[in-house]
Amino acid sequence: MDFYNSYAHGFARVAACATPTAIADPATNAATVIAQAKACHDQHVAVAIFPELTLSGYAIDDLLLQDPLLDAVEAALAEVVAASTDLLPLLVVGAPLRHGNRLYNCAVVVHRGRILGVAPKAYLPNYREFYEKRHFAAGDLSTGQTLTFGAGAPDRRTSIAGLEVPFGTDLLFSASDLPGLVLHVEVCEDMWVPVPPSSVAALAGATVMANISGSPITVGRAEDRHLLSQAQSARCLSAYLYAAAGQGESTTDLSWDGMTMVYECGGLLGETERFPDGPVATVVDIDLDRIRQDRLRDGSIDDNARTYEQWSGAFRTISFEVAPPAGDLGLLRQIDRFPFVPDDPARMAQDCYEAYNIQVSGLMQRLRAIGQPKVVIGVSGGLDSTHALIVAARAMDRLGRPRSDILAFTMPGFATGATSKGFAWALGEGLGVTFEELDITPVARQMLTDMGHPFAGGEPVYDVTFENVQAGLRTDFLFRIANQRGGIVLGTGDLSELALGWCTYGVGDQMSHYTVNSGIPKTLIQHLIRWVVTEKFFDEAVGQTLTGIVNAEISPELVPAGEDEKPQSTEDAIGPYALQDFNLYHVLRYGFRPSKIAFLAWHAWHDPALGDWPEGMPADRRTGYDLETITHWLEVFIKRFFAFSQFKRSALPNGPKVVHGGSLSPRGDWRAPSDGNAAVWLAELHDALPD
């Protein structure tokens, strides 16, 4: 496997191009297209699309019905076809073409010296500034047909004269060597109708939709195009390429902005500046694996296809071979370092608002449903228990109950630090909850003695038993206190810990009566707490305490550190949460191969200077990771997630799903055998890594 090659990982490079138009000058327009096609070839593009009526110009009115112009279009198209012979991209070019007794507004699909097919515009606008029915015939019923070039000009021979090619809106173009690249082409107005041709094409298997457009610009229309392209790509679980006419089109009564953009499953991958001078192109890598995986999980598309089989079952498929280049081609799309945490501040605020309120409303409903018990929670002064506590405090506020109905306990053990204990006390007092300290060390020491553990005899043996005695006692106390005082134990463990099995099973932090953090990854919790501080839900003193907690190193504080030793670190044991949350997202949300996850992680993390960081991320945490580090912790994740920790998730207490990446509830997003193994995932990773 060519590990650093994007095509090897299921990506396809596409380009939505806007080129200057020479009005009614097909030869010049063909030369412009050829030059841009060569530029796309140099950028390793597999599919490049151009605006509507590329070769003639869109706004030429009745010139469209002049034979000299139409003859010149076919000659220009022949030049494009000839020039494409040694070029990588499949080209989609707009042209007015004669067919039968009528003229059609067409998208011509060209690749390596061949015309693969012609897709006519299905729906013709004939309102306000548009009057296309004056010149063109609608192509909505033109399925199963062929078009013969040169039939309208028998005395003007070109290299494509006499060529018969598939013609209709029922064409799919499938790459034989790029699984998942199945292209459908529509023209401008086709995406503005209630049932676009691309919707039916998606039901037939199209994964990439192209819209070549001549849409003139008016105030607000660019936003409409975005909304339509976004919605179509999201609804059809596909990529959607859009290219509009621009510079050079006639401004007799209209103007043009040369808008280009690419969406994938509802997300904008890229766009160019509008109103350009000269040619522009949105060049991005679309993720065919993602599209395929989304459709694999979402059976509704196939169900919908059954309903409309009389339409979707009638498509013709034309095969072509891309033969993508080898080697490192880079990756032309943004890979979020923190897929659970948006880089955009406005989106971050919106996500935090939703996440926090999902947690709060989930807890409120549970408390209402079981008679408004008190909430019992262990507070260590670490991230998870802190966040669960401020969720509980907000829930009490909204229920109109006193925060004193939250019974919070800090339970220091053998390795509890003064800093975290101080945070716990400051938080409890600042929030006005009922707060108590319960030292577990005497009971833990007695238990270790009764067990005959070496630590009880003075030996520095800090094994998993030593750790779990402390974790188990804390949970045991909380459950018994809940019995005694009429409460429920509120769990604090998060999604990241559940994925890695970093929790104590049964009588331990894995269990509670209800949990609010089980749907929140560690990296998001950090930003949620920062957001709570920014929103000033609590007073300034509490805000300062919360900020200190977020900035502290993550530690279970179960193993004592020597005088010159570093305190116990969770991330030293199971890996940086930044990487492990990255791995979790791409396994849980998309089911990607480990080699692809490593490839994505390398692009996201190998250079800290590249890309965006979430707002509020401290400078000292803006680090990078090389491929060796990435794959080491990915192996740890694979072993722990697939082969070790499912039994803990199979007995997960109730708690709300929060993030779009998924949850690990055995009643919801993730159902897996507790006795699984990781051999297949590890083998795939090892086989794909570079030597």
Catalytic residues: 52, 121, 188
DSSP string computed for 191-226: GGSSS-HHHHHHHHT--EEEEEE-PPP-TTHHHHHH
On whether the CB atoms of residues 301 and 31 are closer than 8 A, the answer is: no
Give the distance from CA 148 to its chain's centroid: 43
Residue 51 to residue 210: CA distance in whole angstroms: 10
Question: Checking DSSP bridges between strand 514-515 and strand 47-49, what pairing results, if any?
Answer: unpaired
On whether the CB atoms of residues 52 and 188 are closer than 8 A, the answer is: yes
Residue 237 to residue 405: CA distance in whole angstroms: 47
What residues contact 406, with CB distance under 8 A and at least 6 apart?
Answer: 374, 375, 377, 389, 392, 393, 396, 431, 433, 434
Residue 634 to residue 583: CA distance in whole angstroms: 7
What residues contact 206, with CB distance under 8 A and at least 6 apart?
Answer: 172, 182, 183, 184, 198, 236, 238
Structure tokens that stand for 55 in this block:
């070769």
On whether the CB atoms of residues 84 and 35 are closer than 8 A, the answer is: no
Residue 122 to residue 105: CA distance in whole angstroms: 9
Question: Checking DSSP bridges between strand 90-99 and strand 102-111, what pairing results, if any?
Answer: antiparallel
Give the distance from CA 426 to its chain's centroid: 39
Task: State the angle between helix axes of 627-638 and 594-605 in degrees (0 to 180), rounded to the nearest 10.
Answer: 140
CB atoms within 10 A of CB 22: 17
Which residues, in sequence order, are bridge partners of residue 166?
146
Q: Which of 64, 67, 90 is nearest to 154 (CA)?
A: 67
Residues in the chain: 691
Q: Which conformational region is residue 72 in: left (phi greater than 0), alpha (psi within -120 to 50 degrees), or beta?
A: alpha
What residues contact 201, with CB distance under 8 A and at least 6 apart?
Answer: 172, 184, 186, 209, 312, 315
- Annotate 299-334 with b (16+ C-beta within 10 A) or e (fewer): eebeebbeeeeebbeebeebebebebeeeebebbbb
CB atoms within 10 A of CB 558: 19
Residue 304 to residue 366: CA distance in whole angstroms: 37
Sign of the C-alpha dihedral computed for residues 636, 638, 642 and 647 taken in this order:
positive
Q: Which of 93, 51, 101, 49 is nearest to 73 (CA)?
A: 93
Collapsing DSSP to helix, strand or coil, 225 comes out as: helix
The beta strand positions in 422-569, using DSSP E, are 434-437, 487-491, 514-515
Residue 177 to residue 323: CA distance in whole angstroms: 7
| Burial of residue 657, with CB atoms counted within 10 A of its CB: 0-12 exposed, 13-18 middle, 19 or more buried | middle
DSSP string computed for 575-605: --HHHHHHHHHHHHTT---HHHHHHHHHHHH
Residue 56 to residue 35: CA distance in whole angstroms: 17
Structure tokens that stand for 294 in this block:
């989304």
The secondary structure element, H or E, covering residue 394 is helix 383-399
Residue 298 to residue 303: CA distance in whole angstroms: 10
